[in-house]
Amino acid sequence: MASEIVFPNSKSHKLLGALKFIFAPLMFMVGPCVFYGREQLPKEGGVIVLINHLSDSDPMIVQNASSRGIHFMAKSELFTIPILKQWMTFWGGFPVKRGVPDRASIRLAVELAKAGRVVGIFPEGKLSEDGKLQEIREGAALIIRMSEVPVICLGIKNTNRIVPYGSLIPRPAFCKVTAHWGEPRSFNKDASNEEVTSWIEAEFRRLIPEPPNN
C-alpha cells in the first residue's frame, strides 16, 4: 500500500526543504543548475512526472527542480545496497524490476498517484549512453492511463556531465545544467498506449531539442 512507503511529507517535508537549501550551493558548483517552468507543476493532487534519463545524478537534480517531493521508480538493484536503499527510501524511491513487466511496481505507482502524490518515472527505462532520447516504453503510458492524473514532462540536459555514463563519481559539469518543465496534460483509460507515448516523445523533443547531425 502507498502508506507503507516512507516519504518526506508532513513534518519530514520540512527536512526535505532544508536539504534542498543545503544542496543549493552544491547545485551551483556542479552546474550551475537552472530550472525553467517550475510553476507548471500542479501544486496539489496526484501527478506523473516523466524525465529523460542521462545520469545517475538525475533524481537529485529533479528533486531540486521540483516544488514538491517526488516518489521515484528506481531500478531494483539500487535497493540491494543498504546505504543506497536507505537514501532512496528517504527520498521517496521504490524499486522496479527492469526487463520484465513489474506489476507490483506499476500498481504501487498508480496507488501513489491516486493518493495525491507525485510519481517520477524515467520512461526510457534505462540511461542513455549517448545523451539522445531513447524509445519510450509502454509501461509509463500504462501507469498514466490507469492513474488518470495529470502528467508532465521534465526535459533535463547535461546531467551526464556531472556523472557520466558508466561512472559513479560526480564532478563539476563545467556548463549549465538545465531542467525544463513542460505543460501538464491528462489522459483517460480510453487513450491508447500509442497516443500517450507519441505525446511523450513529442513533448521531450520540444523541451530538449537535439542538435542537427553534421
pLDDT of 21 reads: 67
Lowest mean pLDDT among 77-86, 107-116, 197-206: 77-86
Q: What is the DSSP letter of 159?
A: G
Answer whether 0.85 is exceeded by the pTM.
yes
Can you tell me the mean pLDDT for 99-111? Answer: 86
- Is 153 part of any domain? yes
Cα(92)–Cα(86) distance, rounded to whole angstroms? Answer: 10
In a domain, 12, yes or no: no
Distance CA 177, CA 63 (A): 14
* Total tally of structural domains belonging to the chain: 1
pLDDT greater than 70 at residue 188: yes
What is the span of the domain harbouring residue 186? Answer: 59-207
Judge contact between 87 and 80, C-beta under 8 A. no
> Does residue 54 belong to any structural domain of this protein?
no
Q: What mean pLDDT is predicted for residues 65-83?
A: 85
Residue 153's alpha-carbon distances to 3, 108, 167, in angstroms, are 26, 20, 26
- Say if 37 falls within a structural domain: no
- Asked whether residue 41 is domain-assigned, the answer is no
For the chain, the average pLDDT equals: 86
Peptide bond into 170 cis (omega under 30): no
pLDDT score at 192: 96
Within a domain: 117: yes
Of 89-98, 132-141, 161-170, the least confident: 89-98
Residue with cell 536507505: 86
| 48 domain-assigned | no
Residue 121 belongs to some domain of the structure: yes
